[in-house]
Amino acid sequence: MASKTLASRRQSLIAIFLVVGFVFIIRLFYLQVIDESYKNSAQNNVLRYVTQYPARGLIYDRNGQLLVYNEAVYDLMVMPSQVTQMDTAEFCRLLDISLEGFRERLKKAKEYSRFKPSMFEKQLSKETYGFLEEKLYRYPGFYVQPRTLRKYPKPIASHLLGYVGEVNQQIIDKNPYYKSGDYIGISGIEKSYEELLRGIKGIKVRMVDVHNREVGSYQDGLLDTIAVMGKDLYLTIDAELQEYGELLMQGKMGSVVAIEPSTGEILAFLSSPGYDPNLLVGRVRGKNFKFLSEDPVKPLLNRAMMGQYPPGSTFKMVNDLVGLEEGVLNTKTRYSCQGTGSSPIRCTHSHQSPLDVYVAIEQSCNPFHWNVYRSILSSSGHGSLRENYNNWRRHVMSMGFGKKLGTDLGNELSGSIPSAEKYDAIYGKGRWNAMTVRSLSIGQGEILATPLQIANSAAVMANRGFYYVPHVVRASGDSLIRSINYEKVTSTIKPQHYEVVVEGMRQVATMGTARWYQPEGISMCGKTGTAENPHGDDHSLFMAFAPAEKPVIAIAVVVENSGFGSTWALPIASLMIEKYINREVKRKDVEERMINGKTY
């Protein structure tokens, strides 16, 4: 009996060992024959993972004209652990770098990681890549990664389009999508619409032989992913009008913004002096950026959104509208003017007196608008002067001043419509009144506005009381179908009051300061402005819209340190209106004078 029990136990142990052995055999077979993970790990030394950078989306103007496309370039990558002895002198000659530069680059790559690829030399041209490609097998650890760079067929709209640059560590830490060596939109459209334009990265797994030569795709591309190109953008700007505006503004500091009132679409958006956007592309970008940033005329500054100026006389209609809304002004109201002897605000020239609101706008009479402003603060019936002031400020800001408009371009400044608290801090609470802040009546003092805001105010006048948020992208994707909707903002002023100031602006163009520049066959409504500048000569301003009854363009022009509004800003604006509506300019004498004129 005992022997049978012992035999049974022996058989059980043998069976257990056989089962365990069989399990191990099956597991080893699975790991060595079926499961590829350990094989992949063992082959990591001969596999190369090459990021496939997508081409960024193309950018077109409102008429389908190509503004930005892509051109192939090549980044030279290095895997420090694979770098062996090689002909360094020949390698440096191929790349046009010094031996010290080679050593410094390799040192930085090793500091990043000995076993991960990093950038050695970025953005090699097709020509350099052609020379390097056939000899690359001589340099173990180095390989080329293709990508694209932006190109601009016309050197226009640099501030609007923006530029692309390499990501820094702060961006990498904030957004896991980006890795060292990636590129990102830095400014303008490239920054605002980065996620649409950038596309989706892919990857290719390549087999590499001992001579650093690619021998094919790994597992027939089973692990590869395809890069997806970024979406195309269709802008609202008219490239022909944009180019014409930049031609007119050459040799001048300032900006031009033109808007389609019925949609808020920006037709032209320029800051002068500008720069060729091709200068900030490729290996020369760093050198050119330093040159541009040190230029005393500041070509990198986007004056259209970041320049803040006293709006001067272009602001007078705003005060008139508040006066009409508050009932302290009507078309029968008359105020006297003693010309250049007027006080406390002097008139710039002599004209009829007393005068009504129409003639006051036409003649740009300072004393008239001072009296309107004083009535708003002292007689508009909201209680104390402080309450009347706050109500005035509310009306003004409803027309787009003193706040960011919310455009789809970044870095927009808000301008300034000072608060009562600001004057409390300056003069003391209860120690300021209409006389203290009288400069606001003529768009001076603490009021500041960007050219974008002034153009938007012209759109408000054109629409008789509302605006759409100004924007520069009409649609995205593969069609011209509008895919983005923008907010409609209605002012606190009733539409019928706008008819009064629009008539005054029409008289400016037919009988006032703009009568010499009325485009033939176009009923323009506008207002000149000469804004005092504490830092130098006065700024020349003009804002307008046309045609009067069914406006298709609203525009603002600012020419810095150039004197009267009628000298520079007015003729430039009128030429652009004529160009946009008629598609040609007949006033060649005015055009030639503006193109050849210099203000700095």
Reported as a single tens digit per residue, the pLDDT across 131-169 is 888 888 889 889 888 888 999 999 999 999 999 998 999
Do 428 and 475 lie in one domain? The reply is: yes
Span 539-561, average pLDDT? 97
R_g of the chain computed on alpha carbons: 34
Whether residue 1 is predicted with pLDDT greater than 60 in this model: the reply is no
Cβ contact 79:115 at 8 Å: yes
Percent of all residues in the chain with a pLDDT value above 70, rounded to a whole number: 93
**Co-location of 441 and 389 in the same domain:** yes
Residues 112 and 260 in one domain: no
Q: Are residues 185 and 59 in the same domain?
A: yes
DSSP codes of every residue in 120-166: EEEEE-HHHHHHHHTTGGGSTTEEEEEEEEEE-SSS--HHHH--EEE
Q: Where are the alpha helices (DSSP H) in 409-494?
A: 420-427, 451-463
Please list, in sequence order, all residues whose beta carbon lies within 8 angstroms of the beta carbon of residue 483, skipping any fewer than 6 positions away: 475, 476, 477
Decide if 36 is inside a domain. no
* The pLDDT value given to residue 3: 58
Domain that holds residue 92: 47-235
Q: Which of 173, 201, 235 is the last residue of a domain?
A: 235
Task: Kindly tell me if the per-residue pLDDT of 42 is higher than 60.
Answer: no
**What was the pLDDT predicted at 500?**
98
For the chain, what is the mean pLDDT? Answer: 90
Q: For 345-373, what is each residue's pLDDT tens digit? A: 989 878 889 999 999 999 999 999 999 99
Task: Express each pLDDT in 299-343 by its tens digit.
Answer: 999 999 999 999 999 999 999 999 999 999 999 999 999 888 888
Specify the pLDDT at position 43. 46
Q: Does residue 13 lie within any of the structural domains?
A: no
Phi/psi of residue 438, each to 5°? -65, -25
In a domain, 39, yes or no: no
Q: Let me know if residue 143 belongs to a domain.
A: yes
Structure tokens at 593: 């004078």
Distances in whole angstroms, Cα of residue 285 to Cα of each of 163, 278, 428, 555:
10, 9, 51, 33
In this prediction, residues 425-441 reach a mean pLDDT of 95
Model pLDDT, residue 213: 63
Give CA–CA dist 285/320, Å, rounded.
Answer: 49
- Assign residue 158 the CATH number of its domain: 3.90.1310.10
pLDDT at 577 over 80: yes
Domain end marker among 187, 213, 235: 235
Task: Verify that 227 and 295 share a domain, yes or no.
Answer: no
Regarding whether 538 and 415 lie in a shared domain, the answer is yes
Report how far residue 264's alpha carbon sits from residue 406's, in angstroms, rounded to the nearest whole number. 12
Confidence of residue 31 (pLDDT cuts 50, 70, 90): low
Among candidate residues 235, 253, 277, the one where a domain is terminated: 235
pLDDT at residue 7, rounded to an integer: 66
pLDDT confidence tier of residue 557, bands split at 50, 70 and 90 = very high
CA dist., res. 223 & res. 204, Å (int): 7
In this prediction, residue 48 carries a pLDDT of: 75
Whole-prediction pTM value? 0.87
- The total number of structural domains that make up the chain: 2
- Report the half-sphere exposure of 411 (CA within 13 A, side-chain side): 17
If one counts every other C-beta atom within 10 angstroms of the C-beta of residue 257, the result is 30
Rounded Cα gap, residues 393 and 423, in angstroms: 13
Q: Are residues 191 and 109 in the same domain?
A: yes
What is the widest separation between alpha-carbon atoms in the chain? 139
Residues 213 and 260 reside in one and the same domain? no
Summarize the confidence of residues 180-201 as an average pLDDT: 92
User: Would 590 be classed as within a structural domain?
Assistant: yes
CATH of the domain at 327: 3.40.710.10
Q: Is residue 487 part of a domain?
A: yes
Point out which residues pair with 540 in neighbouring strands: 530, 559
Highest mean pLDDT among 107-111, 196-200, 242-246: 242-246
- Residue 73 inside a domain? The answer is yes
Asked whether residue 345 falls in the same domain as residue 228, the answer is no
Shared domain check, 308 and 188: no
Task: List, in sequence order, every residue forming a beta bridge with 542; answer none if it has no partner.
Answer: 528, 557
In a domain, 361, yes or no: yes
